[in-house]
């Protein structure tokens, strides 16, 4: 009786263990089938133990043609890829993982696809056997979109290059026509206005040229940028007989291309204003200084001259000219404030962007 009881008990335990194993297997299969991407479960010899429903659906194969077969034999050998074999046979066993390995292949019944493979080695507490989980993600669409994006970016660069070239040529043509017209008109007042317009067009051309040279970096170093701009302005606007120097100072800093464009135009207008109003024909050792300083997100652009200030030279006056209006409009776009200080030593116009000013508590 005791012997038969022991046999029955052992049989019950074995049946319970078998039931638990089957339940665990069904649970694991349900998890695998829930995953949207195709998944293969391989044994240590890289033989398929099971596969997810998404694998069968994606590659249009049947379980009986997949389970129990070596990975490299699936689909008439289209998974027999040397680099994949290296990863699964050497790298995964040694490191336990394979990530983002891409396979490009013309799969039967599916067509050309780019698949991203990720593998994990599964270790068990008991027993020496291991399994490998192989996840397969179809990234064909993403790679096509990336290539299309790269093509569009290249086309954009070509178009921008063409636009820059056409803008530069157009500005040169406009400047030449204005200068030619200035030589033919009889009115001295009209001639002065035309020459002034010519200088402004040339200054815009200088800004455009320097910005185009810096466009590839995404940001513009203001020190070298203002130096090149002032060199161009000095060449085009200060005659050899005028003893006026134009220099750049300050700690410098960087700005976006859009900000640099506005700052360059502001500097140009203020330099023009100094040349027109700060110095007389008898001026000796005239000097204009362009400075740009940065502190965190705050910055200040200032143009100073040592000339004798005239009423028209004061930017703070209610009635302003074209240049003053341009400066104030550009400063407003930059969320900056324009201030003018005039004294015996000359005039300084500062354009300041200081974000902390708006955050400081008001003192009552």
Largest CA distance in the chain: 135
**pLDDT band at 350; cut points 50, 70, 90:** very high
Q: Percentage helix, strand, coil, to 5, in the chain?
A: 55, 25, 25
Asked whether residue 68 is domain-assigned, the answer is: yes
* pLDDT tens per residue, range 271-305: 888 888 888 777 778 889 999 988 888 999 999 99
> 251 and 265 share a domain?
yes
Domain, as residue range, for 57? 32-138
In a domain, 18, yes or no: no
Domain co-membership, 279 together with 339: yes
Same domain for 363 and 282, yes or no, is yes
pTM score of the predicted model? 0.48
Q: Number of structural domains, the chain?
A: 3
CB-CB contact of 43 with 70 (8 Å): no
Give a yes or no: residue 282 inside a domain.
Answer: yes
Quick one: residue 107, left, alpha or beta (phi over 0 = left, psi -120 to 50 = alpha)? Answer: beta
User: 281 with 204, same domain?
Assistant: no
The pLDDT value recorded for residue 239 is 63
Q: Is the residue at 239 inside a domain? A: yes
Tens of pLDDT, residues 42-52: 888 888 888 88
Are residues 54 and 107 located together in one domain of the fold?
Answer: yes
What single-letter DSSP state applies at residue 354?
A: -
- Residue ending a domain, among 85, 112, 138, is 138
CATH of the domain at 323: 3.30.565.10
Give the integer Cα–Cα distance in Å for 296 and 153. Answer: 32
* One domain for residues 39 and 111: yes
- Are 285 and 251 found together in one domain? yes
State pLDDT tens for residues 153-176.
Answer: 888 778 877 877 787 788 888 888
Residue 301 placed within a domain: yes
Whether 16 is covered by a domain: the verdict is: no
Statement to judge: residues 50 and 161 lie in one domain: no
The verdict on 286 and 355 lying in the same domain is yes
**Do 248 and 291 fall within a single domain?**
yes
- Assess whether 78 and 50 both reside in one domain: yes
CATH number of the domain to which 63 belongs: 3.30.450.20
Residue 47 lies in a domain: yes
CA atoms of 282 and 294, how far apart (whole Å): 36
Q: How confident is the model at residue 354 (pLDDT cuts 50, 70, 90)?
A: confident
Last residue in a domain, options 94, 117, 138 = 138
Last residue of a domain, one of 80, 115, 138: 138
DSSP 363: P
Q: Does position 1 have pLDDT exceeding 60, yes or no? A: no
Interval 227-232 mean pLDDT: 83
Instruction: Indicate whether 204 and 239 sit together in one domain.
Output: no
Burial class (CB in 10 A: 0-12, 13-18, 19+), 105: middle
| Residue 140 contacts residue 114 (beta carbons within 8 Å) | yes
Residue 24 lies in a domain: no
64 sits in which H/E element: none
Alpha-carbon gap, residue 341 to 357, rounded angstroms: 20
pLDDT at residue 358 greater than cutoff 50: no
């Amino acid at each position: 009786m005791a012997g038969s009881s022991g046999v029955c008990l052992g049989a019950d335990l074995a049946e319970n263990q078998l039931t638990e194993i089957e339940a665990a297997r069904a649970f694991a299969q349900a998890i695998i089938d829930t995953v949207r991407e195709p998944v293969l479960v391989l044994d240590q010899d890289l033989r398929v133990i099971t596969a997810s429903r998404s694998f069968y659906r994606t590659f249009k194969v049947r379980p009986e043609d997949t389970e129990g077969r070596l990975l490299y034999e699936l689909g008439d050998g289209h998974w027999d890829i040397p680099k994949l074999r290296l990863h699964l046979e050497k790298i995964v066993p040694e490191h336990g993982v394979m990530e983002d390995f891409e396979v490009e292949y013309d799969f039967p019944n599916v067509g050309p696809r780019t698949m991203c493979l990720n593998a994990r080695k599964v270790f068990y507490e008991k027993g020496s056997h291991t399994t490998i989980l192989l996840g397969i993600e179809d990234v064909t669409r993403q790679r096509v979109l990336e290539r299309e994006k790269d093509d569009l970016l290249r086309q954009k660069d070509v178009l921008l290059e063409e636009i820059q070239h056409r803008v530069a040529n157009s500005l040169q043509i406009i400047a030449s026509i204005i200068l030619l017209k200035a030589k033919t008109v009889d009115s001295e007042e009209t001639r002065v206005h035309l020459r002034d317009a010519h200088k402004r067009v040339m200054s815009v051309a200088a800004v455009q040229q320097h910005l185009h040279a810096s466009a590839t970096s995404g940001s513009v170093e203001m020190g070298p940028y203002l130096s090149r701009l002032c060199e161009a302005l000095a060449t085009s606007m200060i005659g050899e007989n005028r003893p006026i120097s134009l220099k750049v100072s300050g700690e410098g800093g960087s700005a976006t291309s859009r900000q640099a464009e506005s700052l360059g135009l502001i500097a140009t207008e203020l330099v023009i204003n100094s040349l027109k109003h700060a110095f007389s024909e008898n001026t000796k050792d005239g000097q204009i200084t362009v400075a740009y300083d940065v502190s965190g997100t705050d910055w200040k652009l200032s143009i100073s001259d040592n000339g004798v200030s005239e009423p028209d030279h004061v930017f703070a006056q209610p009635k302003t000219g074209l240049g003053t209006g341009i400066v104030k409009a550009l400063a407003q776009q930059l969320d900056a404030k324009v201030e003018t200080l005039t004294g015996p030593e000359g005039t300084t116009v500062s354009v300041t962007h200081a974000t902390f000013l708006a955050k400081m508590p008001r003192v009552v």
